């Protein structure tokens, strides 16, 4: 023992060079250059968007802007903000409808005994690949027959289009939770609701968050369905409105760019908000041995 | 506080019979230990009692109330899962307080209870960590603490100490036994550890392939194993099993085994007069002594060559080849014994066990006595 007591707290390091991992290699250079080139393809349009949105005489070309705020003022006129609010309403309703229904379905698919579970799940996966546009005519007929050509029923339909994929996303998340956790909670006399709210939902949160973002973006970017299913112009969402910028004789590139930036803000904010739940992913560590 | 009885319980998974026809009575306040090789149905039995698995046939009663189909939440049972089943998104503190919270128990002394249990299982200072930030043994203690914070009718502990170091295990063993004695809660305890089973259990149930072979007190189980499996499973290292020839000679049973011939008083060892001529003879390594360190009652000798030695520090187990059959014997650690040497072993015929070769059942104990010991 006594020999240890007099030793220094930090031991003497060896005098040779520490081991270094080689940073540069041909493969790394090649792969990073390729990625940079691909990245540029995505970056240039973004650059154009920001430049054009503050340019007095924006065109389709990328150039140094003559600074102005006129484009934003145009894009913020009540008509256009109204369209943004409509988009928000549409997407929020669609997200809530789809995510709640998808969670309940996914939980049942994951935990309950359901006859023909495999084929049903395959069908759902197949449905998530079917473009909803092919059903637009019959849906239009139905909706116009019952007088539903307005924003709320359209929001529900948009939610339904996201349902199959959301079920899949959430089911995978629920599958990853060991059944033991729920059993342990059962034994502790927790009610089904308590088990869902305090154990299953928190642990499924990364899956639910990705599903919710998918549902939101799916509705946010939809153009054809609102265009066909919403009869009143005042209830039309952003993308349909944006179409209006381009329909005029000369396209107002600056206004389109400004509106596009405003229009993408909610999605960016949503990602930032949800990123916490994504980071909470892999929370299952330490649950079972 | 509760008594438990399994009556003709079966569990069949698809086509695999995990538990064929289980009958077992557990008395109120009893500490019963389940032992058996891996995959013999201990966890399955526990899960049926907890209500997590429905028996395929039969019925389970707790305090004379048929609970076969009662959901787990209404049985008032606390369980430690073999897999721990901790809630990974909650801190240790929330893991411990989750149960009391959902049962809406009074919040005023909840903090105290959590602290007390954390101290009991040695988790003080770790209460704010998440399970992923704990070592395996610490996780296991959280799982144990989550059960011990309750005062249920029954404790079900599925290998609750398997991942702890020897010192901590001894300590926790005493704590659990003490808590159980104080609360008087009926406890079912699964373990692979011989010492745990022998020291903690009021009674031990030995499982093999879904069947209970014997339920008895630790001492009885060690001294009077009902069959060859129990004899070899209880005790470490296991009992030596040797082929022998048996002949009845008036009040004596004459035995020929490993080249030596000796006799034992028949009425002490054999219940029936109709004895098989070939039997299997069992003798524990503890009862097979080195000549120089043997009690005087040991009169029968066998000789052999040392094949291997295995020392535990306080004693040495020596594998001796006697006429081509290997037997394990316990030597004192000071015995100077080398591989290849000749070894001279002695034993007392009264320490022997005799088993029927086909069924493996003992020739000593009556089946009726086993049933009586089960408390039927
Ligand atoms: N859900 C299940 N489906 C099919 N077979 C199962 C299932 N659960 C358990 N078994 C089988 O039942 C038998 C008993 O399993 P059990 O978990 O009770 O063993 P155990 O005695 O607890 O073993 P261990 O000591 O390894 O924990 C095993 O052969 C196992 O393969
Ligand atoms: Mg087990």
| Per-residue pLDDT tens over the stretch B151-194 | 999 999 999 999 999 999 999 999 999 999 999 999 999 999 88
Residue numbers in B near A202 (CB within 8 A):
89
The CA distance from A181 to B79, in Å, is 12
Q: Is the distance from CB of B218 to CB of B198 less than 8 angstroms?
A: yes
Residue A9 confidence (pLDDT) above 80: no
CA–CA separation, B51 vs B72, rounded Å? 5
Q: Which residue has the higher pLDDT, A128 or A176?
A: A176
Angle at B85 between CA B79 and CA B90, to 5 degrees: 115
CA distance A197 to chain B (A): 11
Distance from B93 to chain A by nearest Cα, in Å? 15
Name residues of chain B where pLDDT drops below 50: 367-376
Counting atoms of ligand 1 from 1, which one is nearest the CA of B34? 21
- The answer to whether A209 and A153 have CB atoms below 8 angstroms apart is no
Domain boundaries, chain A: 24-68, 71-288
Residue B335 confidence (pLDDT): 84
* Distance from the alpha carbon of residue B43 to the mean position of ligand 1, in angstroms: 7
Number of domains in chain B: 2
For position B73, what pLDDT does the model report? Answer: 93
| pLDDT tens digits, one per residue of B194-243 | 889 999 999 999 999 999 999 999 999 998 899 999 999 998 888 999 99
Alpha-carbon gap, residue B186 to B61, rounded angstroms: 14
| A154/chain B closest Cα distance in angstroms | 37
Cβ within 8 Å, pair A283-B86:
no
Tell whether B19 and B128 lie within a shared domain: yes
Of B209, B231, B253, the one marking the end of a domain is B231
Among B212, B231, B250, identify where a domain stops. Answer: B231
B123 and B102, same domain (yes or no): yes
Task: Find the domain containing B257 and state its range.
Answer: 232-374
Single out the residue in B231, B255, B288 at which a domain terminates: B231
Same domain, B101 and B188: yes
Indicate if B194 and B251 belong to the same structural domain. no
Which CATH architecture fits A71-288? Orthogonal Bundle (1.10)
Same domain for B138 and B120? yes
Could you report the predicted ipTM of this complex, rounded to two decimals? 0.86
Residue-level pLDDT at B111: 93
Do B176 and B61 belong together in one domain?
Answer: yes
Residue B296 maps to which CATH number? 2.40.50.140
- For residues B279 and B342, membership in a common domain is answered with yes
B261 and B367 housed in the same domain: yes
Cross-chain CB nearest to A285 (options B79, B88, B136): B88
Q: A182 alpha carbon to ligand 2 midpoint, in Å?
A: 18
Listing DSSP states for B173-236 in one string gives: HHHHHHHHHHH--EEEEE-S-HHHHHHH-SEEEEEETTEEEEEE-HHHHHHS-SBHHHHHHSSS
Strand-pair partners of A119:
none
CB contact under 8 A, A289 and B139: yes
| Claim to verify: residue B221 and residue B245 sit in the same structural domain | no
User: For the domain that residue B13 is a member of, what is the CATH number?
Assistant: 3.40.50.300
Task: Annotate chain A with DSSP letters as a single string.
Answer: -HHHHTS-SSPPPPSSPPP------HHHHHHHHHHHHHHHHHHHHHHHHHHHHTBTT--SS-----B-SHHHHHHTSHHHHHHHHHHHHHHHHHHHHHHHHHHHHHHHHHHS--TTHHHHHHHHHHHHTS-GGGGHHHHHHHHHHHT--SHHHHHHHHHHHHHHHHHHHHHHHHHTS-HHHHHHHHHTT--HHHHIIIIIHHHHHHHHHHHHHHHHHHHHT--HHHHHH---GGG--HHHHHHHHHHSSS--HHHHHHHHHHHHHHHHHHHHHHHHHHHT-STTTTS--
Q: What is the pLDDT of residues A13-27, one digit of tens each?
A: 888 888 888 878 889
């Amino acid at each position: 023992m006594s020999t240890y007591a007099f030793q220094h707290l930090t031991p003497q390091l060896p005098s040779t060079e520490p081991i270094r991992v080689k940073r540069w290699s041909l493969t790394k250079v090649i792969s990073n250059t390729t990625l940079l080139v691909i990245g540029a393809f995505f970056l240039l349009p973004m650059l154009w968007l920001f430049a054009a949105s503050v340019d007095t005489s924006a065109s389709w070309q990328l150039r140094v802007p003559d600074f102005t705020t006129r484009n934003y003022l145009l894009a913020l006129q009540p008509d256009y903000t109204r369209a943004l609010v409509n988009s928000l309403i549409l997407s929020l309703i669609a997200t809530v409808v789809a995510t709640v229904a998808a969670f309940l379905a996914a939980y049942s698919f994951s935990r309950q005994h359901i006859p023909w579970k495999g084929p049903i799940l395959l069908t759902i996966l197949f449905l998530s690949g079917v473009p909803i546009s092919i059903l637009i005519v019959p849906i239009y007929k139905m909706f116009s027959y019952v007088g539903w050509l307005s924003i709320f029923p359209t929001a529900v339909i948009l939610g339904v289009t996201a349902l199959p994929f959301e079920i899949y996303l959430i089911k995978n998340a629920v599958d990853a939770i060991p059944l033991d956790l729920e059993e342990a909670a059962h034994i502790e006399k927790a009610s089904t609701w308590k088990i869902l709210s305090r154990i299953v939902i928190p642990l499924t949160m990364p899956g639910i968050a990705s599903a919710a973002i998918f549902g939101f973006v799916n509705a946010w970017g939809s153009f054809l369905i609102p265009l066909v299913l919403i009869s009143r112009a005042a209830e039309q969402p952003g993308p349909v409105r944006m179409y209006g910028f381009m329909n005029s004789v000369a396209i107002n590139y600056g206004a389109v760019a400004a509106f596009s930036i405003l229009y993408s803000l909610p999605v960016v904010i949503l990602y930032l908000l949800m990123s916490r739940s994504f980071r909470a992913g892999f929370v299952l560590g330490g649950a079972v041995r | 506080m509760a008594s438990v009885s399994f009556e003709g319980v079966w569990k069949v998974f698809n086509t695999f019979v995990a538990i064929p026809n289980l009958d077992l009575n557990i008395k109120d306040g009893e500490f019963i230990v389940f032992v058996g090789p891996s995959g013999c149905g201990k966890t399955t039995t526990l899960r049926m009692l907890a209500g997590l698995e429905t028996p395929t046939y039969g019925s389970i009663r707790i305090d004379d109330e048929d609970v076969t189909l009662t959901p787990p939440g209404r049985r008032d049972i606390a369980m430690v899962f073999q897999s721990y089943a901790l809630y990974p998104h909650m801190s240790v503190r929330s893991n411990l307080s989750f149960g009391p919270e959902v049962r809406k128990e009074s919040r005023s002394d909840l903090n105290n209870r959590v602290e007390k249990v954390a101290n009991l299982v040695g988790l003080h200072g770790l209460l704010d960590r998440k399970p992923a930030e704990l070592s395996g043994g610490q996780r296991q203690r959280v799982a144990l603490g989550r059960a011990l914070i309750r005062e249920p009718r029954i404790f079900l502990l599925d290998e609750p100490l398997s991942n702890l170091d020897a010192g901590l295990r001894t300590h926790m063993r005493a704590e659990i036994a003490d808590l159980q004695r104080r609360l008087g809660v009926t406890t079912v305890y699964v373990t692979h550890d011989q010492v745990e089973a022998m020291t903690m259990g009021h009674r031990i149930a030995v499982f093999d392939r879904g069947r209970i072979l014997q339920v008895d007190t630790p001492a009885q189980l060690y001294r009077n194993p009902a069959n060859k499996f129990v004899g070899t499973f209880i005790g470490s290292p296991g009992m030596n099993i040797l082929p022998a020839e048996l002949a009845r000679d008036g009040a004596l049973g004459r035995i020929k085994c490993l080249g030596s011939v000796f006799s034992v008083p028949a009425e002490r060892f054999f219940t029936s007069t109709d004895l098989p001529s070939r039997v299997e003879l069992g003798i524990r390594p503890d009862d097979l002594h080195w000549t120089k360190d043997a009690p005087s009652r040991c009169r029968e000798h066998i000789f052999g060559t040392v094949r291997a030695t295995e020392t535990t520090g306080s004693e040495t187990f020596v594998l001796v080849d006697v006429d081509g059959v290997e037997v394990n014997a316990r030597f004192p650690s000071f015995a100077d014994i080398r591989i290849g040497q000749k070894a001279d072993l002695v034993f007392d015929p009264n320490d022997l066990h005799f088993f029927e070769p086909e069924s493996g059942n003992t020739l000593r104990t009556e089946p009726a006595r086993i049933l009586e010991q089960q408390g039927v």
